[in-house]
């Protein structure tokens, strides 16, 4: 057997093993769009906060403002999830793969536990009026979800998770910059990650 044929066969075996152990239909374009949604949401949140500040710099009704910001973030989340599902299904069809398989189920389970835990944690903080560290909690729990899920998909997601956790820890130290750090994490980093994923795996 020629050396070129050996390399080709080994490459085919490696791809087959990767497909059986990794979910590789995630869309980089979905990451880019999610980042754009997040930046738009952060911009709306910034304008909202500017409009409701009094001349002395004190928010008139803090709880209402926080819930409005939460609704903006929730809208961003819904649009991001819908976009990700649509593009991932399209990507899987192009690769002639099934979206719902044992690997994707393990991916959802691994990432779902920290995501659901984080969502409940943030809701409890909102109900108790503890608003200072909500942005930090969003980043940290999301980063943990990415790290956990990276075992079942592209390893690049692990590094995105690390960056999100780091930004969340910074937001714990300086919560006054929470909105900016949230925009960097969910906006800028998603655009960078999505672009890398698109050109690395989808072209």
Task: Give the rounded percent of residues in the chain with a pLDDT score beyond 70.
Answer: 79
Q: What is the model's pLDDT at position 27?
A: 76
Q: Which residue has the tokens 């152990």?
A: 21
What is the model's pLDDT at position 172? Answer: 94
pLDDT by residue (tens digit) across 62-109? 667 777 888 888 899 899 889 888 888 887 777 777 777 777 788 888
State the pLDDT at residue 20. 46
Determine the pLDDT at residue 8: 52
User: Angle at CA 197, nearest 5°, toward 155 and 159?
Assistant: 35
* pLDDT at position 62: 64
Distance, CA of 71 to CA of 77 (rounded, Å): 10
Structure tokens at 132: 């200072």
Tally the C-alpha atoms within 13 A of residue 159's C-alpha that lie toward its C-beta. 9
State how far the Cα of 41 lies from the Cα of 73, in Å rounded to an integer. 7
* DSSP H helices in the chain: 3-21, 28-52, 62-94, 102-127, 134-149, 156-173, 178-183, 189-201
Which tokens belong to 186?
A: 């969910």
Using only C-alpha atoms, what is the Rg of the chain?
20
With a cut of 70, which residues of the chain have pLDDT below it? 1-25, 51-63, 202-203
> What confidence score (pLDDT) does residue 107 get?
81
Distance of CA 135 to the CA centre of its chain: 13
Q: What is the value of pTM for the model shown?
A: 0.79
The full set of domain ranges for the chain reads 26-201
């Amino acid at each position: 057997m020629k050396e070129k044929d050996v390399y080709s066969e080994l490459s085919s075996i490696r791809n087959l093993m990767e497909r059986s152990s990794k979910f590789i239909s995630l869309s980089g374009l979905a990451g880019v769009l999610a980042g754009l949604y997040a930046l738009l949401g952060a911009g709306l949140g910034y304008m909202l906060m500017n409009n409701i500040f009094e001349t002395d710099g004190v928010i008139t009704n803090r709880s209402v403002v926080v819930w409005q910001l939460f609704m903006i973030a929730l809208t961003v989340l819904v649009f991001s999830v819908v976009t990700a599902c649509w593009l991932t299904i399209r990507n899987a069809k192009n690769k002639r793969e099934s979206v719902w398989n044992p690997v994707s189920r393990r991916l959802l389970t691994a990432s779902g536990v920290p995501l659901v835990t984080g969502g409940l944690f943030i809701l409890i903080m909102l109900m108790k009026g503890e608003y200072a560290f909500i942005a930090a909690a969003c980043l940290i729990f999301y980063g943990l979800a990415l790290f956990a899920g990276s075992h079942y998909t592209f390893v690049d997601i692990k590094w995105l998770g690390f960056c999100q956790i780091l930004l969340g820890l910074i937001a714990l130290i300086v919560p006054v910059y929470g909105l900016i750090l949230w925009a960097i994490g969910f906006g800028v980093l998603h655009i960078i990650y999505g672009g890398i994923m698109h050109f690395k795996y989808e072209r």
